[in-house]
Structure 1
Amino acid sequence: MEVVALVAVTVVLGGIVVLLALWGRKEGSNQQETGAEKANGHAVPEKQSTKKQKPQKPRKEKPQAHSFSHPLLASALKAHSGNITCLDFSSNGKYLASCSDDRTVRIWSTKDFLEREHRCMRANVELDHATHVRFSPNGRAFIVFLAYGDTIRVFKMNKKDEAFVFSVAQEDFPKRHKATVINIGIADTGKFIMSASNDTTILIWNLKGDVLATINTNQVSNAYASVSPCGRFVASCGFTPDVKVWEVCFGKSGEFREVARAFELKGHSAGVCGFAFSNDSSRMATVSKDGTWKLWKTDVEYKKQQDPYLLFTGKWSGQEPCRIALSPDGRIVAIASVCDITVYNAQTGEIEEEFKSVHGDVISDLAFDISNKFLVSTGDRAIRVFHNSAGYRAAIADMKEMLRKTTNKGTKERLQQQIKNAEKALDAAYKQKN
């Protein structure tokens, strides 16, 4: 019996040892699995769940499109998916070009401005985007300045049916500017291209991309520069309280000769923010940090040392950044200040129209079309097209004064018809609903 009891005790103890061994192996396995989970970033055990979790970032809401309405708003052109940086009308007035940071240039038909649908043609700017765009004089090409490439690229426009096919010139212009480019332009004569940077540099190029001349404006920094509509002059303004104008001279056979100082607009007491030409370059308008804008007669014999005439000084209470536009006939001045636009009579200085919060961002460009019917602006993803009501009123006032003075029957009849047409167009502009 003792032997049997001893065997039984031995079996029981052996079983207990086996059970303890199995239980220990299981615990080791569980610990290894837990360690593996930690290493692989799996769920954390309960004892670690008390660790403070990082708050989740709120989801970014899609920015709402800026809303704007006004009785004089003729249309809003919307096709770009990025902010528009520059506008330009073709010399024949048929097209409007716009460039954006969405890597496209859009070509709009101005005859669609008053239609419900606004068609446009798209040119892609490969691996870059354009900061400025300008039509060639014949409307068969346009140039852009590349944001990343820091150079000029030429696009050719070939008409096919009722649309354009765009092709890029073989090579971009060489990179020559050392500072940010603030504007480019093409002379209406087709003889040269201008580019200006925000240091003191203006470059004059031929159409092949060769630099003909370098201008040092000596204005500490350039705020704006452009080519005159007549294609003879290049002008710039900046830190100093004046506007400098140069003539780009060519020989009788078309060869480049020199860039010569033409004249200066002096009269502001602080830096000039911007300027604009009338369509025939006989008038210029300037706006300054001194809180004034000025209208000048620039059709002078500067080679005989004749200075431009100051025609009018008006006041403005806007803020920078600002832009100024002068109507083609020189009767109306428009000034964009941040996101607002104020329209003035250039002869009386009276405020004709005020448009508040026109765009959701700073207005990047402002211009009248060459027909004098519209004022266009941009500063976000839309182009706002306004009826030039102030232009109609100024033209009507001038024609009535001419009618009062004239004694010729034929002239009277012509003026009476023109006044009637202008009044009809003005009434139609105010009656339009958007």
Structure 2
Amino acid sequence: MDLKQAYLSFGVVSMANMSESEGSLPLIAVTAAVGAIVLLFTLLCSVFRKDKPKEEIESEQDKKTANAGSEKNNSNKKVKPATKTAKKPAHISFSHTWLSCTLKGHSSRIVSLDFSPNGKYLITASEDRALMLWSVKEFRQKEHKYIRGNVEFDSATHVAFSPDSRALVASLANENAVRIFRLGKKDDGSHNVTISGALDFPSKHKLDIIGVGISSSGKWIMTCSSDTTILIWDLKGEVLATIDTHQVNNSCGKVSPCGRFVASSGFTSDVKVWEVVFDKSGSFSSVKRAFELKGHSAGVYDFDFNNDSRRMASVSKDNTWKVWDTDVRYDMGQDPKLLYSGKVSYPGPALIALSPDGRTVAVGVDTSIAFWDAANEHQDQVLENVHAESMSCLKFDIGGRYLVCSGGKHVQVLHNVTGYKATIADLEEKLRTASGPGMKDRLKQQVSEAKEALENILLSSKDSPK
């Protein structure tokens, strides 16, 4: 365009000179001459452009792009040229006879999940700012519907059901605080459930919240942060007590299913447990140290309770997991007893889940899960490549029938086959030592029902689509 403008300018100047020196030339002739020159130049440029090879044009464009990138990164000579790499799949096709179903719906990584105490629902929280409610009875069906609730202006990092299964406690990523969500029914008279925010607690933690829970009595809520702080709240958002765990930093914080204890693990090699005490009138009294799990030689990644809190399981950086008898008189100075221990199949940060009856231990590392028969102290099965991404959650349902694990955007629902086997073995052992005929008949019936249930699970899992 600069050259064109030069020609135009030249034409205009020439026209002016001609007008001054040769006033006899008609103005229209001069204008036509200038126009002819411009038109000829334009045609020549067009022809030259068409004759130029397409590859040469693209090469020039690539050079310009490369030069621009070079100028932008000239301060860092170690920058490597961009190379095309295959994207990591968002989901892998995992197939196993123990797999009941795969729950799909979230568009981002799932960060937390929990089962309702009534055993009907599973709630999942994701970085996509959504809460999704799933029906447990649909785990063995072809379709898996969900009810979605949005976390306004934030996203949930941890979730826990209230004891009446009508509310949720969730920690928020941006606010680093707690929000209470209510499960209600729509005003149109349908049975559809809605999930809506009801109350926000004040922000009290200095560092990120890494765990939330609510007691089975419904009287208090626990939040645990990544420093050494645990807060005990009432249901209105008032802090009842502050606990300093003295563990350098916290890695896990949970409330026991019995509703009496709050526990934490962290950099130190122990798990510390406190009792939250209320007086006879129902008013908060104090938080006092109950007991500690001592036996690991390195920091504890994760721990879990069984349904009555008489058993606990822990997994550590020392590549071991342990099951403990916590049914002790801790008020009399008794310490928990180590029942058995096992080796972690793979190195790295680990998750652990203890079945409600205490018979099954599941240890998850990266994308693999090892199932252990806790009663007979042997590894039953290792499932590999369960997810395309590292697992974020591992949990048994209230009845101990399923183990659910989240990795990436999906949840895998697995049958607790190890638990069924352990139950059958336990019943058969009791049958051998039973004395009365009535007791033997009942045990025989229970063994028969357990075997039939296990057989049905394995047969249906082979044929059912995921």
- Please state which band the TM-score falls in when normalised by the shorter chain: 0.7 to 0.9
Cα deviation, residue 63, structure 1: 5.0
Give the unaligned 5+ runs of structure 1.
1-11, 34-42
In the alignment, the residues of structure 2 paired with residue 374 and residue 53 of structure 1 have an alpha-carbon distance, to the nearest angstrom, of 58
CA separation of 1:395/1:256 partners in 2, compared to 1, >3 Å: closer, same or farther? same
In 2, Cα distance between the equivalents of 1:329 and 1:151?
A: 33
One-letter code aligned to 1:415: L
Distance 2:375 2:297 in 1: 21
How far did residue 283 of structure 1 move? 0.1
Q: How does 1:196-235 map to 2 (within 5 A)?
A: 196-235=224-263
How does 1:34-45 map onto structure 2 within 5 Å? none
Report the CA distance shift for 1:27/1:134 in structure 2 as closer, same or farther (over 3 A). Answer: farther
- State the one-letter code of the partner of 1:312: Y
1:9 matched residue in structure 2: none
CA distance in 2, matches of 1:13, 1:316: 102
Alignment of 1:357-396 (within 5 A): 357-396=385-424
Name the SS of the counterpart of 1:384 in structure 2. Answer: strand
Which of 428, 439, 442 aligns to 1:400? It is: 428
The residue identity in structure 2 corresponding to 1:251 is: D
* Offset, 1:317: 3.2
Counterpart amino acid of residue 162 in structure 2: S
Query: CA shift at 1:26, angstroms?
Result: 6.1
Indicate conservation of the 8 Å contact 2:89/2:388, yes or no: no
Take 1:108 and 1:401, find their aligned partners in 2: how far apart are those partners?
Answer: 37
Residue matched to 2:7: none
Q: Residue 378 of structure 1 contacts residue 384 of structure 1 at CA under 8 Å; is this kept in 2?
A: yes
Aligned length: 414
Equivalent position to 1:162, from 182, 191, 204: 191
Query: 1:344 deviation in Å?
Result: 0.7
Q: Once the two structures are superposed, what CA deviation does each residue of 1:246-296 show, in whole Å capped at 9, x if it has no partner? A: 001111111111110000010111111111000110000011111111110
User: Which residue matches 1:53?
Assistant: 64
1:80 to 106, 119, 128: 106
Contact 2:90 2:388 (8 Å CA) reproduced: no
Partner Cα separation in structure 1 for residue 239 and residue 457 of structure 2: 46
TM-score (norm 1): 0.88
Q: Equivalent residue for 1:107?
A: 133
Among 221, 224, 228, the residue aligned to 1:193: 221
Tell me which amino acid in the other structure corresponds to 2:111. Answer: T
Select 1:66's aligned residue among 92, 108, 119: 92
The CA deviation string for residues 327-365 of structure 1, in whole angstroms up to 9 with x for no partner, is: 111111000101111111113331111111111211010
In structure 2, what is the equivalent of residue 321 of structure 1?
A: 349
Q: CA deviation at 1:27?
A: 10
CA contact (8 A) 2:110 2:407 kept: yes
**2:304 and 2:354 in contact (8 A); partners too:** yes
Give the aligned residue type for 1:382.
H
Q: 1:80 Cα deviation (Å)?
A: 1.4
Q: 290, 305, 310: which is aligned to 2:338?
A: 310
Distance in 2, matches of 1:27 and 1:210, equals 87
Call closer, same or farther: CA 1:18–1:62 in 2, change over 3 Å. Answer: farther
Which letter does structure 1 place at the counterpart of 2:64?
Q
SS in 1 for 2:133: strand
CA distance in 1 between counterparts of 2:331 and 2:174 reads: 41
Q: Partners of 2:88 and 2:431 in 1: how far apart?
A: 57
Cα deviation for residue 141 of structure 1 reads 0.8
What's the offset of the Cα at 1:23?
8.7
Structure-2 separation of matches of 1:110 and 1:155: 20
Offset at 1:162?
Answer: 2.9
Contact 1:84 1:100 in 2 (8 A): yes
Q: Name the Cα RMSD after superposition.
A: 3.1
How far apart, in 2, do the equivalents of 1:18 and 1:60 lie? Answer: 68
1:118 — aligned with what? 144
What is the CA-CA distance between 1:118 and the residue it aligns to? 1.2
Distance 1:17 1:146, change over 3 A: same
Per the TM alignment, residue 14 of structure 1 is displaced from its structure 2 partner at its CA by: 6.2
- Secondary structure at the residue paired with 2:200? coil
Unaligned runs of 5+ in 2: 1-20, 43-48, 70-81
Distance in 1, Cα, partners of 2:301 & 2:195: 35
Is 2:289 the counterpart of 1:278? no
Q: Which amino acid aligns with 2:451?
A: E
Equivalent residues of 1:321, 1:362 under 8 A apart = no
What is the distance in 2 between the residues matched to 1:103 and 1:19? 72
Question: 2:210·2:252 contact (CA, 8 Å) conserved in 1?
Answer: yes
Bigger Cα displacement from structure 2, 55-64 vs 257-266: 55-64
SS of the residue 1:404 aligns to: helix
Which structure dedicates a bigger proportion of its chain to helix?
Answer: 2
The CA deviation string for residues 81-138 of structure 1, in whole angstroms up to 9 with x for no partner, is 2211111011111111111111111111111110111122111111211111111000
Moved runs in structure 1, 4+ residues, more than 4 A? 12-30, 48-51, 55-64
Call closer, same or farther: CA 1:168–1:54 in 2, change over 3 Å.
same
Comparing 188-197 with 310-319, greater Cα deviation is found at 310-319
Amino acid at match of 1:412: K
Counterpart of 1:5 in structure 2 is none
Deviation per CA, 1:153-210: give whole Å up to 9, x if none: 11111245432133321x4100111111111001111111001111111111111011
- In 1, are the aligned partners of 2:406 and 2:412 still within 8 Å (CA)? yes
Q: Distance in 2 between the 1:62 and 1:365 partners?
A: 20
Match of 1:341 in 2: 369
2:163 corresponds to: 137
